[in-house]
Chain A
Amino acid sequence: MASKLDARIPAGPLKDKWDLYKNSIKLVNPANKRKHTVLVVGTGLAGGSAAAALGELGYNVKAFCIQDSARRAHSIAAQGGINAAKNYPNDGDTIWRLFYDTIKGGDYRAREANVYRLAQVANNIIDQCVAQGVPFAREYGGLLDNRSFGGAQVSRTFYARGQTGQQLLLGAYQAMMRQVSAGTVTMFPRTEMLDLVVIDGRARGIITRDLVTGKIERHLGDAVLLATGGYGNVYYLSTNAKNSNVTAAWRCHRRGAYFSNPCFTQIHPTCIPVSGDYQSKLTLMSESLRNDGRVWVPKKPGDTRHPSQIPEGERDYFLERRYPSFGNLVPRDVASRNAKYVCDEGRGVGETQLAVYLDFADSIRRLGRNKIEERYGNLFEMYERITGENPYEVPMRIYPAVHYTMGGLWVDYGLQSTIPGLFVLGEANFSDHGANRLGASALMQGLADGYFVIPYSLGDYLGGTRIEAASTDHDAFEAAETDARQRIGKLLSVKGSRTVTEFHRDLGRIMWDHVGMSRTKDGLEQAVDAIAALRDEFWQNVLVPGEPTTYNKNLEFAGRIADFLELGELMARDALMREESCGGHFREEFQTEDGEAVRNDRDFTFVSAWEFTGDPRTSVLHKETLEFENVKLSTRSYA
């Protein structure tokens, strides 16, 4: 079975691999492309750009999304920007540096060849988006503006106000709608993929549910592209949109696609804290705020005085104290973990005591209110809209929140999973960010995969594979549809006493407490058992209202929570197996005396790839060893 994990990285020097790959792949004759049907599931940055690019090439594309329009995919919420080593500012940026920063930022748990290709095609993305009319920020001379981001020493981030994700997504959506008009792409909005259909070992179709009528349908294709995003909502509260889920990816996992590095999750330090049990999601605020805000909590546990009543000497600026050289600008994972520690000590602030202050008073004194308003005005406004507090006068309260998942379905260099014909793009795959993703690189990866990688690697597959004729009457379709129908029937028939949201919230609590920012062997073992028990209870006691044949959000969510209840256990098992601290995965047993992460390169320089065996309790671990031929592994230090 280990041979399934052949990453098929082209031979040759790192900088030539992608060209050599393109020179050697099979091609599909232009006249034959329309004879190939490609099913694209998910139409965010990765899926939307893939559908557009493949439609332009002449493939017959069917694109599916759960939203009422492809324009609403969660990529739209990305604020900050997109990286590319254009080196327009003349500050010394190169493709190599973008590659190196990304691989180092991922704590050396990503594939060199994939990351280098990402850095290479990033420039094409910027060109393509500008040509589409994406209104990136510009300088008065009319040329594109860049800003720095996430600790990089160069300015390589392109942005469109605080709405870069929205503008890039609309660019991809518009390109796709152009293909809808041209007849090469057929769009299926409000349609959820419930299962993958595998015929003779190849991905050949999907089973879908129409979210308005409940109609179950079969779709046949020559290949399936999954671009269904991340699984952060396993934590219940996250910055993800409410509909983001793992179901399509998990169904593929159950059909044979290996799931990689599920424990690598990113927790973002600057989010607006939870205010109560009714809370449905968390809102991120750009981490640029840490440039001018000072993070503190009271020295004394349980100090409920108003922040203005707490004198300077009774405040603990804990990041400045522990990390004197980086101070408030330590990386995301370090800042998040330390906020958790002080709250665990009972020193958290606000009503829930699950928050720390981010105080701008010193900066306002030093720079003036106008300067701060110029830099962060929109963020301060957003904070006030949500919390009702004016951050110019009262320190902000912030707390970490789950933001991005680096893990996902295993793919080879051509983005193909362990099921031939199933390709995985964007956040749904594991490939480019290792154990930690740098800011402004999620958008880059989604569009790289969709516009510039899949058009080649899919062509190679279709051109080099004899795909047998099949129909939706095939037994595999019949079986998958029956499974999907039975599952829906079962969810509705339990008629227990607890709602889907209650189960989701319980799962989230287990995940956050034990598979969150800081993990221990004991905690993870408890989580494995607790999740399994919750899963059993779910199938005995869930209460799903309504009918299968109407718009029924609770029914949609019930199926997704059922899958999260399996994924959660796999995440805990993966975290238990990985006896080291790296990137977003921090095991308390593996830290220095100063509390810094201790990576174990000798034993854990590999990608975990889990095989589903029929029961989440017995998933089998496979390993893809990572070879570093071009960079030297070093230890991150911020003290």
Chain B
Amino acid sequence: MSHSMRIHLKVWRQAGPNAPGRFESYTVENANEHMSFLELLDVLNEQLIKEGKEPVEFDHDCREGICGSCGVVVDGVAHGPQPRTAVCQLHMRHYKSGDTITVEPWRAKAFPAIRDLVVDRSAFDRIMAAGGYVSVSTGNAPDANAIPISKVDADLAMDYASCIGCGACVAACPNASASLFTAAKISHLAKLPQGSPERKMRVRNMVEQMRKEGFGDCSNHAECEAVCPKGISISAIALMRREYLKAATS
């Protein structure tokens, strides 16, 4: 049977990009073990609206861990305590009545604050625009089976391609590096023959764009891999470096 839970929340509130932020404390009396963490925030917001206060803003959409919209730091960990779980899939049964949970936005120079828990992740789009694609215009494609690809490579490409672009890797990194995000796309395309002709240009341009956006460099902390909701391996970063070196020396 489900039990009613009392949950205390310390939530980062910030009215706008240049406004000072602060933690506010709230209590939700009627939480429930079956709720997701975002549903707990929904209940808090309904409560705040009824009290004439402004609700806590946070990004969310699919609520099944695939769109990458949501992302907050829960008790110091990006997406919270459950491994390989986006915060929309974190359920309250992992907490007990009386717990206090601290909620913060992704913090990184390249992710400017918008409001409360919402940040601007458009830097990721610009990194993708710098080369995260195969240059093939519609209608040019040969038959899909014209080029066989080893299953091992195809599966590895899929592992890297499963990135949801949520930004947890940046939030968790002491250097606020976007290396895992950038490397995941570079590695996905580097594993496939279709991505090969422009691989050198791709890695140069994407890495350059990542720097321009103000993300830090990677110093092998591997915090990114630990919080990635898709469990993407930092082997991607190693591969990106090899690709970069090859591109830089040729």
Q: Would you give the shortest CB distance from A277 to chain B, in whole angstroms?
A: 9
Q: Indicate whether B46 reaches chain A with its CB closer than 8 angstroms.
A: yes
Interface residues of A toward B: which range? 35 or more
Chain A hits for B145, CB < 8 A: 86, 88, 143-144
Nearest-neighbour CB distance to chain A for B57, whole angstroms, equals: 5
Contacts of A351 in B (CB 8 A): 1-2
Q: Are A135 and B192 in contact, with the CB atoms below 8 A?
A: yes
Q: Report the contact-size class of chain B (Cβ under 8 Å from the partner).
A: 35 or more
- Cα A351 to Cα B3 in complex, Å, equals 12
Residues of A within 8 Å of B114, CB to CB, are 212, 551
A residues less than 8 Å from B42 (CB atoms):
278, 280, 501
| Residues from chain B with Cβ under 8 Å of A86 in the complex | 144-145
Give a binary string over A531-546; 1 marks a CB under 8 Å from any B CB, 0 the rest. 0000000000001011
* Interface residues as binary, B129-162 with A (CB distance below 8 Å gives 1, 0 otherwise): 1111111111111111100111100110110011
Is there a chain B Cβ closer than 8 Å to A206's Cβ?
A: no
Kindly identify which residue among B32, B34, B38, B66 contacts A77, using a CB–CB cutoff of 8 Å: B66
Cα–Cα distance between A117 and B188 once the two chains are bound (Å): 32
User: In the complex the two chains form, is B129's CB within 8 Å of A499's CB?
Assistant: no
Contacts of B46 in A (CB 8 A): 499, 501-502
| B35 in contact with A278 (CB, 8 Å) | yes
**Residue A279 at the chain B interface, CB threshold 8 Å:** yes
- Given A132-B133, A133-B194, check contact A69 B138 (CB 8 Å): no
Please indicate the chain B residues that have their CB under 8 angstroms from the CB of A128 in the complex.
136, 138-139, 141
The verdict on A308 contacting chain B, using a C-beta distance below 8 Å, is no
A177 on the B face (CB < 8 A): yes
Q: Is B227 an interface residue (CB 8 A)?
A: no
Shortest Cβ distance from residue B173 to the other chain A in the assembled complex, whole angstroms: 20
A17 at the interface (CB under 8 A from B): no
Given contacts A142-B148, A455-B138, contact A275 B89 (CB under 8 A): no
Query: Is B244 on the interface with A (CB-CB < 8 A)?
Result: no
Q: Are B140 and A131 in contact (CB under 8 A)?
A: yes
A70 to B32, CA, bound (A): 34
Cβ of B113 to closest chain A Cβ, rounded Å: 11
Docked complex Cα distance between A71 and B176 (Å): 22
- B64 & A283 in contact (Cβ 8 Å cutoff): yes
Contact of B39 among A140, A279, A455, A543 (CB under 8 A): A279
Count chain A CB atoms within 10 A of each CB in B34, B39, B68, B144 and give the residue with the most.
B144
Residue A45 CB within 8 A of the other chain: no
**B137: A residues at CB distance < 8 A:** 56
Are A68 and B59 in contact, CB atoms less than 8 angstroms apart? yes
The interface stretch among A158-166, A311-319, A485-493, A621-629 is A158-166
Interface centre among A130, A173, A275 (most CB of B within 10 A): A130
Indicate whether B93 reaches chain A with its CB closer than 8 angstroms: yes
Residue of B with least CB distance to A161: B158
Q: Which 7 A-B pairs have the closest CB atoms?
A: A142-B148, A174-B133, A131-B141, A127-B141, A275-B34, A135-B158, A130-B144
Q: Please list 23 pairs of residues, one from A and one from B, whose beta carbons are closer than 8 Å in the complex, sorted by A's number.
A: A49-B138, A53-B138, A56-B138, A67-B61, A68-B69, A86-B145, A133-B194, A135-B188, A137-B158, A142-B150, A143-B145, A173-B128, A174-B128, A174-B133, A175-B138, A241-B61, A278-B32, A388-B33, A388-B93, A499-B50, A543-B49, A545-B54, A551-B115
